[in-house]
Each structure stands twice: as structure tokens, then as C-alpha cells.
């Protein structure tokens, strides 16, 4: 199985270069950066492009769901790939985004640090076991609701019409999604407006990722 290597880029570059020693059979490297670390990511790409296929993903996002979506959108081919992350660099939120993606794709994450003897040490991070199918399955009614809500807010009756399902069915799904923190509802007069939450966006992005990888069964994680 080929590997996609995610590397959030920060100011400390040595742990990032060191990380390549621990990952074999890399098919594609993605350097995750902000506008602040864009120059460092470009320098790293220039140094390693003779050995690896490397692309830079620049994200201006500050929320974890948006960063995950930026990464997933930028990666061209997930199928039959394992995603490994070196989370030694980048912002905390970038590293966490990469960790979640790796956890969900039977991959793993690690970091490199310098010990008291100034030697570089490798530490693998335990993966989270994420069973997204407990909440939302691809192409289910709940997934389609999240897909609509990821683009804009809706009134309850609008959602029912767009998805061609009964209001009572929509209401039942919204109730479940709200209980699990994926949507929130607000009253506007007599109408109920429905909004997706950060958790809902994150779950929606991960379900899309699973679909793109062609994973049929929930055999998540290493």
C-alpha cells in the first residue's frame, strides 16, 4: 500500500527533514503551510523534489474543520493509500488536523524532538479509533442533510423540499444530528432554521474522505 505523507511546516525544520527517515514507500508528500511559513515550505519542496513528489497546501483557515477540508480537497488520489503525518511542525491546529486524517485512514502520526543530549528522537502517537459510521454513513439521509447544510443554513421545510422527504423524517434526522452536536437549530419567529456546527463539518469532511478512499467497511485505523 502506497503512502501519502502529510507534513505541517513550522519554523523548526530539522524535525521535518528527519521524519523522512521513518516513512518508506512514499508516493506523495504534502507540505501544509500558512502564508507565514509558505517560504519555508517552498524551500523544503525545492530541496526534496528530486527524491519525492511534493506539493504545497497553503491554508488560511483557522478552524480545524476548514483545515481538514482544505487538505482533503487538495489531495488528488486517496484510493488504496495510507496517510502518515509528521506532526512535529506547523501550528497546533494544523498538526491536529493531520493527526485526525491519519487516524481515520489506517495511518499513523509521529513527532520528532531533540532530547537532552541534542539527539533527534522519534515518537509515534497512538491513533484515535474513529467509527464515523455510528453517526453518518455516505449517501444516507443524514449525510445528504449535512451536505446541504455545509453550503448554507436552511429552514426545516426548505430541507424537506430539496431532499424530497417528509418534514417529519427531516425533523427526526435533525433531532439526532443535533443531539450528537453536528447541527444546531434556532427559532426565527415560527420557523426553525438549521445550521451545521464545526463538529458537523468535520464529520461531513471525513465521510467524504472515506468515500473517496473507496473504503466500504469501517476498518478504521492501524
pLDDT tens sequence across 207-221:
887 777 765 334 443
Q: At what angle do helices 198-213 and 141-149 cross, to 10 degrees?
A: 120
Contacts of 109 (CB under 8 A, 6+ apart): 84, 85, 86, 87, 98, 99, 102, 103, 124, 125, 127
Q: Tell me, which fold does domain 2-128 have in CATH? A: Rossmann fold (3.40.50)
What pLDDT, on a 0 to 100 scale, did the predictor assign at position 75? 87
Architecture of domain 133-201: Orthogonal Bundle (1.10)
The distance of Cα 110 from the centroid of its chain, to the nearest Å, equals: 16
pTM above 0.75, yes or no: yes
Given this model, what pLDDT does residue 134 score? 63
Residues 72-110 have pLDDT tens digits of 889 877 777 889 999 999 999 999 999 999 988 778 999
- Mean local confidence (pLDDT), 48-56: 96
% the chain with pLDDT above 90: 55
User: Which three-class secondary structure state does DSSP give residue 111?
Assistant: strand
Domain with CATH 1.10.10.10 in the chain: 133-201
| 80, 146, 185 from 137: Cα distances, Å | 20, 11, 22
Q: Where in the sequence of the chain do the CATH 3.40.50.10770 domains occur?
A: 2-128
Task: Please check the confidence at residue 222 and state whether its pLDDT lies above 50.
Answer: no
132-185 residue pLDDT tens: 666 667 668 888 899 999 999 999 889 999 999 898 999 999 998 999 899 999
Amino acid at each position: 500500500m502506497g503512502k501519502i505523507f502529510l507534513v505541517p511546516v513550522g519554523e523548526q525544520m530539522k524535525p521535518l527533514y528527519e521524519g523522512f527517515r521513518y516513512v518508506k514507500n512514499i508516493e506523495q508528500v504534502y507540505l501544509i503551510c500558512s502564508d507565514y511559513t509558505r517560504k519555508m515550505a517552498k524551500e523544503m519542496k525545492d530541496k526534496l523534489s528530486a527524491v519525492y513528489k511534493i506539493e504545497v497546501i497553503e491554508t488560511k483557515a483557522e478552524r480545524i474543520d476548514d483545515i481538514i477540508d482544505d487538505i482533503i480537497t487538495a489531495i488528488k488520489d486517496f484510493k488504496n493509500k495510507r496517510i502518515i503525518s509528521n506532526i512535529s511542525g506547523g501550528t497546533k491546529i494544523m498538526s491536529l488536523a493531520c493527526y485526525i486524517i491519519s487516524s481515520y485512514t489506517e495511518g499513523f502520526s509521529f513527532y520528532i524532538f531533540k532530547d537532552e543530549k541534542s539527539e533527534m528522537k522519534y515518537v509515534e502517537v497512538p491513533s484515535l479509533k474513529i467509527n464515523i459510521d455510528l453517526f453518518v454513513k455516505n449517501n444516507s439521509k443524514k449525510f445528504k442533510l449535512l451536505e446541504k447544510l455545509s453550503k448554507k443554513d436552511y429552514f426545516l421545510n426548505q430541507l424537506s423540499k430539496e431532499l424530497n422527504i417528509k418534514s417529519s423524517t427531516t425533523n427526526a434526522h435533525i433531532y439526532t444530528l443535533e443531539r450528537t452536536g453536528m447541527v444546531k437549530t434556532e427559532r426565527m419567529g415560527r420557523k426553525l432554521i438549521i445550521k451545521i456546527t464545526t463538529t458537523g463539518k468535520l464529520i461531513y469532511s471525513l465521510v467524504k474522505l472515506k468515500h473517496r478512499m473507496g473504503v466500504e467497511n469501517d476498518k478504521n485505523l492501524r
